[in-house]
Amino acid sequence: MRRGRLFSQNCVVTGARRSSGVLLHPTSLPGASGIGDLGPEAFRFADWLAEAGMRIWQVLPLGPTGYGESPYQLFSAFAGNPLLISLDVLAVRGWLPQCGANPGAPDESVDFERVIPWKTALLRRAFETFRREALAADREEFAGFAGEHAAWLEDYAQFMALKHAHGGVEWTAWGAGARPDPAEIEYQKFLQWEFFREWRALRTYCAARGIRFMGDIPIYVAHDSADVWAHKDLFCLDETGRPVMVAGVPPDYFSATGQLWGNPIYRWDRIAASDYQWWIGRMRAALSLFDTVRMDHFRGFEAYWEVPATEKTAVGGRWVKGPGSELFRALRARLGPLPIVAENLGVITPEVEAIREEFGFPGMAVLQFAFGDDPQAPSFRPHNYTPNLAAYTGTHDNDTAMGWWRSHGGDSTRTTQDVKKEKARARAYLHTGGREMNWTMIRALMASVANTVIFPAQDILGLGSEARMNEAVHPPWPAASGRWRKYTSGKYRRR
């Protein structure tokens, strides 16, 4: 990794403080347990960010992952992922011995089939030690946490306890009248308490070094989640609890059949009738974790693409009006100014931009999108940027900068000839022969007027397609496990 500061923290444009940052999900950090966590390596990375002059760490969603181990298919929109709990920290607390390395865990990927049972066994061991030996102060803090977060924690703990009792199958397959084990409920609450303790310590450490966290709010939640299980009336479900309509996006430049995500569609009429209480709670929870939140698929709040659950692709969907500005007015009225970055990528209409501009939310620009044939490509070129913008070399949904540059086409809707034209435009625009294209792209963003520029860690490291985060965009997935990419932050397929 190159030394030195990547961005001056004192550069000011149009009265706004400019900042740079790195996109890195904590699972990508090194560690002996086979998966990155919130322990010592996270603090070391924070030190590097501060030394490099960075001011933003974008972490994506941090919740407990479901099918595909994707942070965009979570068991809860409110909970934290227990796999991010540091075993080193638990050892310091005296609830675990020093555990050593996870035997056989690969260095370059997270093998969830190996990580989950190994780490879960140790987390359960820590919980049993806590139950036997915890000090009165710890028990009091634990009880206080459970009370403070009861609005979502009770539902989540019961959901996970029932899922454990039923062998992990989705909630629509549970038998009637099943009761969760009280000890399992307490274990689930313990994991959340410990996650939030460790996250609070990391966030405090980062804040002292001038580093802010940017997280994500995925627009949709997973069907197999505590959110849908506990609030069935807020989603388009049939009498058995299965989705009637599911989310996706229509065919576009990147996919001839669109994207079928499989998440259940909201009953926005019922959510509005409750004065958006569920969404207010969700946003409040996100702002307790992060300094800024990226609103995933912002376009879907103005109008969303709904697809009958019986369809195999997204082609047969239709546009339906969403809550629009009314939702964000309700959020602002209860929570105050909203530190939101709007993911305004895809088919963006004037109505979508009007909502973003009404609230002053920065939009996004992705440099990889600047050189193709899509009609919106020119807007992603740095000379067209405005200050109120978060600019990226690429996001978790893209190939890495070097992977993109080395590609030859044949993916999605791009032909080999399309890629040749795209590269020719990039060479001409960026005045480069293509050597160290990742650094060429990084410099182009830093020289723009955008107030915020963010680079995936893979682009700083110059990694290729082998380090891509998101490899597939067509869920729903089977209940599968296996070996997955180390950079765990999107919708994935097996290696």
Q: Which of 170, 198, 296, 306 is catalytic?
A: 296
pLDDT at 14 over 60: no
pLDDT class of 474 with cuts at 50, 70, 90: very low
What does the pLDDT look like over 192-226, one tens digit per residue?
999 999 999 999 999 999 999 999 999 999 999 99
Q: Report which secondary-structure segment, H or E, holds 262.
A: strand 259-264
Q: Which of 227, 397, 422, 459 is catalytic?
A: 397
Cα distance between residue 319 and residue 303, in whole Å = 6
Cα distance between residue 463 and residue 103, in whole Å = 26
Q: What is the pLDDT of residue 137?
A: 96
In angstroms and rounded to an integer, the radius of gyration of the C-alpha atoms of the chain is 22
Strand partners, 335: none
pLDDT class of 50 with cuts at 50, 70, 90: very high
pLDDT class of 329 with cuts at 50, 70, 90: very high
Q: What is the pLDDT of residue 493?
A: 29
| Token code pair at residue 343 | 């993911």
- Which of residues 356 and 14 earns the better pLDDT score? 356
Calculate mean pLDDT across residues 57-79. 93
pLDDT class of 128 with cuts at 50, 70, 90: very high
User: Residues 258, 249: contact at Cβ < 8 Å?
Assistant: yes
224 carries an active-site annotation: no
Calculate mean pLDDT across residues 369-396. 94
What does the pLDDT look like over 132-183, one tens digit per residue?
999 999 999 999 999 999 999 999 999 999 999 999 999 999 987 778 999 9
Cα distance between residue 430 and residue 192, in whole Å = 47
Q: What is the pLDDT of residue 410?
A: 59
41 carries an active-site annotation: no
pLDDT at 42 over 80: yes
Q: What is the pLDDT of residue 487?
A: 33
Comparing C-alpha atoms, which of 127, 302, 294, 135 is closest to residue 218? Answer: 294
| Token code pair at residue 96 | 């675990």
- Which of residues 53 and 480 earns the better pLDDT score? 53
Q: What percent of the chain has pLDDT over 70?
A: 90
What rounded mean pLDDT belongs to the chain?
89
What does the pLDDT look like over 386-418, one tens digit per residue?
999 999 999 998 899 999 999 887 556 678 898
**Side-chain half-sphere of 172: how many Cα atoms within 13 Å?**
12
Question: What residues contact residue 27 under an 8 Å CB cut-off, 6+ apart?
Answer: 35, 36, 37, 83, 84, 110, 486, 487, 488, 489
Q: What is the pLDDT of residue 413?
A: 65
296 carries an active-site annotation: yes
Calculate mean pLDDT across residues 409-435. 87
Q: What is the pLDDT of residue 495?
A: 26
pLDDT at 5 over 60: no
Q: Which of 37, 198, 227, 343 is catalytic?
A: 343
Least confident of 9-23, 29-43, 156-170, 410-424: 9-23
Strand partners, 111: 483
Least confident of 184-198, 248-262, 306-320, 372-386: 248-262
Give the domain 12-485 fold: TIM Barrel (3.20.20)
Residue 390: phi and psi, rounded to 5, are -110, 115
Q: What is the pLDDT of residue 469?
A: 84
Q: What percent of the chain has pLDDT over 90?
A: 78
pLDDT class of 99 with cuts at 50, 70, 90: confident
Comparing C-alpha atoms, which of 159, 61, 152, 81 is closest to residue 123? Answer: 81
Q: What is the pLDDT of residue 16?
A: 46
What pTM was computed for the model? 0.91
pLDDT at 69 over 90: no
pLDDT class of 254 with cuts at 50, 70, 90: low
What does the pLDDT look like over 333-371, one tens digit per residue?
999 999 999 999 887 899 999 999 999 999 999 999 999
C-alpha distance from residue 335 to each of 77, 280, 286 (Å): 18, 8, 11
Least confident of 68-72, 99-103, 203-207, 389-393: 99-103
